[in-house]
Amino acid sequence: MQEQEFNLLDEPWIRVMWPDYQVSELSLSDTLLKAHQIRDLAGEMATQDIAMLRLLLAVLHTVFSRGDESGREAEIEQPEEALHRWRALWEMQSFPEQPLRDYLAKWHDRFWLFDPEYPFYQVPGLIAKDYSVAKLNGELLESNNKVRLFSMYSGKDKAQLPYPAAARWLVYKQAFADCAVKKPSPKMSWLGSIGPIIAKGNTLFETLLLNLTLLRDGLYLWGEAYPAWEAAPNTKPVANIEELEIAIPDNQAELLTLQSRRILLKRENGAVNRYIDAAGYYFVAQNPFVEQMTIWETKTNKQKQIIEYKPKVHDKTRQIWREFASFVGKEQKHKPGVVTWVELLQSQEIFSKTKLVCFCIASVQYDKQQKSSVINEFSDTLEFHSELLTEAGTFWQDLIVKEIDICDSFAQIVGVLAEELNKAAGGKGNTAAEQAKTQFYYRLDIPFRDWLLTLDPGQGASDREERRNAWRDQAQQIAMQLGQELVAASNSAAFVGKTVKKEINGKKEENHYSSPEAWNKFLYRLTERRNSNR
């Protein structure tokens, strides 16, 4: 029988950052109770922090959907009660100790990392293929038998993990696991298949509360909380669980603790050295709006009518501000639940009018073919005035979306210049265009973020027009500077140019490309788009 060891409520294992930027480890209990003193989570990867945040939120959803801030048992039965309860917690500026301690004490035995009956986030007695612990460690990112160079782990540290690190990577694995295991073939882990987005506060307490969506999309009540650690043990043979599909959760606690993999850690001499990994649980649903932390995209029919919403996976090449219309713009038919929640809180005047809001995305990139390995991780944040989320901010939202569209047009114009210069020198142009656009967005990134922070719906129409023109001039200047550099870098062959023949719809065409011609076209296109009101 497996001996109990390492209780996550008592032992330090969650990495946190303090206001002085020092990092330390705390137990799950202390992380929640000291959240108001903590700057942020500080795990090994931003995606690990997302997974950890969801675990902490599952505890909070469970406790505060069943009782209020004083510890009195009272389920939320009306939307107004959810807002009242949330406001009470916000005004306390720290989580009430007794309700949390009472709940965690009741379920203390479900938080052992090693336990014969209820190992945390694991399946006891699991029989399946086991793996080296290096595969559990997300920092190593080993795949296709290629070991990552300059890894932070090597030798003995690579062959085993101390219990705190193993616990963190266990939580991460359940959220972002790839499809590498074969029997049975797993579905993509839930967080790996969506575009995770969270709201960020000045402290971990604020971050947790801003993401504590006590109403679905700010409107609807949740079902009864049902986190994974409260589930009864699975009575099916652990070596042959065929039915892995579950009904879509109707509550946040169950969704936030979804076990995308069946895992069992193995230990030796006080460390985890191997683990068993098998396909876990998943759900299939159209419009899975139970998820509150994703950006959405739509599927349309031939008549361009929306027939389905699905989570939009992040593109690591696109900065978060370029997705502004996807999660803030008024044209977005279904915004992320956390954004809608923060909008609701803003409308209730819980936030100060001078407060900034911040949203963060974090995701992993899998190999394109089989999704059998993680090849990259990326994250980004966007900060802006909270009033932009209100009705008063609607005109400013339109302004921002239009200027992002202008930026995209400028990028295309820069790309065309690079393509034509490359063709003038005898190349094909495609690669040059993409490289130039990437460089343009890189140069535009910080200036756009700085400009966004200057926008305040309290400013008048004249201020709005002034700021719009100032930004457009700056964006045009950045494009001009890059264009000049591209022309200067072109060779003498490009100055003379080249005639390119091609056939379009059965008709032969000839086009001459040269650096002077390309530059003149570039100036015309840029100026025309700069002065456009679209």
Please provide the CATH number assigned to the domain covering 391-534: 1.10.132.100
Torsion sign, CA atoms 154, 157, 159, 161: negative
Helix 394-424 with 461-489: angle, nearest 10 deg: 10
Q: What is the mean pLDDT of each run of 10 residues along the chain (534 residues)?
A: 89 98 98 98 96 98 96 93 96 96 97 96 90 80 41 57 96 90 78 95 97 96 97 64 82 96 93 92 92 93 85 93 89 90 89 81 84 84 91 87 95 95 84 94 97 88 88 96 94 86 74 91 94 74
Nearest-angstrom CA–CA distance, 291 and 283: 12
Which tokens in the block code for residue 263? 């895992």
Nearest-angstrom CA–CA distance, 516 and 529: 20
Secondary structure (3-state) at 245: strand
CB-CB contact of 62 with 212 (8 Å): no
Secondary structure (3-state) at 274: strand
Which tokens in the block code for residue 301? 């029919």
> Residue ranges per domain, the chain?
5-197+221-279, 391-534
Nearest-angstrom CA–CA distance, 45 and 48: 5
Nearest-angstrom CA–CA distance, 371 and 185: 12
Task: For residue 88, give every residue at least 6 positions away whose Cβ sits within 8 Å of its Cβ, in sequence order, or none.
Answer: 68, 69
Closest by Cα among 16, 86, 57, 441 to 258:
57
Question: Residue 68: its pLDDT value, please?
Answer: 94
- Chain centre distance of CA 79: 27
Residue 356 CA neighbour count, 13 Å, CB half: 14
Question: Residue 57: its pLDDT value, please?
Answer: 98
